[in-house]
Each structure stands twice: as C-alpha cells, then as structure tokens.
Amino acid sequence: MKKVVRLFDLGNLDVERQMLKDFDVQCRQCTNEDMIIEAAADADAVMYVLEPLTRRGIESMPNLKLIACKSMGWNFIDMEACRERGISVTHLTDTFVQDVADHVAACILAHNKRLMPFDHDVRVNKNWISTHFPDIHRLKNETVGLVGFGRIAKVVAQDLSGFGVRIIAFDPYVTQEAAAPYGVTMVDLDTIFRESDYVSMHMPLVKETENIVSKAQFDQIPGHICFINSARGGVVNEQDMIDAIDSGKISYAYLDVLNDEFPDLYHHPLANRENVFLTPHSAFYSQEAMHDGRVQCCEDVLHFFAGEYDKCHFVPGGNNTDQAVRRN
C-alpha cells in the first residue's frame, strides 16, 4: 500500500481518506525540515503547502515519487534535487484563481474610495471630514498595471472590466493578440510603472522572476502609485519597495506576501505603517477553495500512481516520471 503524508493540518482527513481509499493516508503538521524527514521518511507521496523541502530533505525520503502542492506556488521546493531523484511535482492551477483575483479587485476598490484611511481618520483621529484625501479620482479614469498576465491576472481584468478602468499588462510570454479579448494592452515593464495608478503583481517566484521589480522600476513612477502584491514576496526587492514607500513613490501598499513567509511582525519595517495594509498570505482563502484544493491534491495522487500523467497538474519542469521509471 502506498503511503501518503499530508504535511499540514487542516483538521480531519475525511476528504483524503474518502478519495484515497487504497492508500495509507496520514497527517503530520510539520513546520521545519527535520519534522518532515521524520514524518515522511518512508512516504511515496507528500501533500505540501509551504514547508521547506530542500535537497537534504528530499534525499532523506528514498521512496518519494510525488510532491503534491496544495498551493499554486512551489518556490520552497528544491526542483533540481527533484529532477535528479525522479520526483514529480504537481500544484493547484485554477483552485484559488477567483479568490486571489477577488482579493486584488477588493484592494483596488477599497483603495479607490480610501475606505480604510477614512475609517482610521474617523475612529482614531475623530475627523468627520470628507475631503481629507483629495487625491481620489473616479476609477474609470485610472490605469491598472498587471505584472504578469496568467490565470489570476486575466480574472482581475474581467473583474474590473465593468468599471471602465484602463488595464495594461507586462508578460514576456503573452502576446497582444492573446490579451485583446480581455481588453488589456500589453506593454513593457517600465511602462507599467510610468503609466499606472495601481500596480498589481501576478508572477510566480522562480529564478527568472526573483526581484523582477526593484529600484529601476520604482524610479519610473512619475508621481505615486498604489502597489499590490498577492503573488510572492520574492518577486519584489523588498528593501527597494520600502525605499519607494518612504519616498512617496508608493503612496499605499496592499501586501499579502513579504519576503519572509512568516515575518516577525514585532520588528518588520512594514508592520506599523498607516499606508501599508498587510494580510497574512490569505488572498487565496475561502471555504470552497480550501475544499477544492484538497480534492485536486488527491486527484493528482490518484492519477499519478495510476500512470495517468496527462491528467496531473505538473508544475513547469515537474513531470519527472521518465527519471522515476529509470530509477525504479
């Protein structure tokens, strides 16, 4: 019987045990690599979210053939070690798309009407003054720039289409022809920062996108922008972003992610600023998304061990079934 270990705690294992009846399914909440090695030493597959999986951990699990990520990102996994060992990696593709897109749209709409600054001004400063934020403009006169134009960014464009907002996007892998049905104009990265009132990040964290936004882009801002990141902290140079906030280039920031997945909120330089709104990597969250994510993880496990690789949601470069066959 194949052993599957879920490395995170979501309460019961009802979904997993119902779908994976022919597997030995266990749950061990792991917060570090030593715990993973102990919990999954003899596992054939693990279900993973954000736990570190370095070469050391991967090489300590000799039976491991599949890492099924219950997330869209996979940046905490040593993919080179997986390729060498013939371990395949899957991830969630559409499960959280609507939820993250709705989070981004909510940030834009809330910021456009300055809901949180007005609330703070009323409750804390006791000011009942409607003109305290004179830089508010009608949303249809604003420009939203999307850095990356994949699944989530496309839904953001659809969510905002009814407001008449101008939308531009940068993505080296997307043509203008492909973006046109969404009412989006493709531009280069610097143009995003020169022409946008809102900039929202939508790129996965891989080697090519690490710090893709830094001082060079923030220096392009002619006035100020509202900056939104619900992707991964590492796609932005965090110190350069802080400098841009300090200088006023970023007037407001809505950040669902930081460089550190579990930041020290007592000492982080962004933790106590009135113009920085932090959420704990929760843009993806809804009851429906959590359930659907568990289901897709189980489906990937079932398809993988049935040899139905065409039905698996492999990450780019994550289908290492050929190497696994040779290894076994």
pLDDT tens by residue, 251-296: 999 999 999 988 999 999 999 999 999 999 999 999 999 999 999 9
pLDDT tens by residue, 197-207: 999 999 999 88
Regarding pTM above 0.85, the answer is yes
pLDDT tens by residue, 32-47: 888 888 989 999 999 9
Phi, psi of 225 (to 5 degrees): -135, 165
- Joined together, the tokens standing for residue 71 give 């997330």
Say how far apart CA 35 and CA 120 lie, in whole Å.
42
User: Would you say residue 322 has pLDDT above 60?
Assistant: yes
Write the class of the CATH domain 97-278: alpha beta
Q: Which residues are bridge partners to 138 per DSSP?
A: none
User: Would you say residue 325 has pLDDT above 50?
Assistant: no
Q: How confident is the model at residue 221 (pLDDT cuts 50, 70, 90)?
A: very high
The confidence score (pLDDT) of residue 285 equals: 93
* Per-chain mean pLDDT for the chain: 92
Among the ranges given (76-80, 119-123, 319-323), the one the predictor scored with the smallest mean pLDDT: 319-323
CB-based contacts of 75, cutoff 8 Å, min separation 6: 204, 205, 206, 232, 234
The confidence score (pLDDT) of residue 49 equals: 82
Where do the structural domains in the chain lie, given as residue ranges?
3-94+286-327, 97-278
Write the class of the CATH domain 3-94+286-327: alpha beta
Instruction: Say yes or no: do domains 3-94+286-327 and 97-278 share a fold.
Output: yes
| Runs of H (alpha helix) within 174-320 | 176-179, 189-195, 215-218, 238-247, 287-305
Contact in structure between 327 and 91 (CB atoms under 8 Å): no
The confidence score (pLDDT) of residue 324 equals: 46
CB-based contacts of 199, cutoff 8 Å, min separation 6: 144, 145, 147, 192, 193, 225, 226, 227, 228
The confidence score (pLDDT) of residue 327 equals: 42
The confidence score (pLDDT) of residue 326 equals: 38
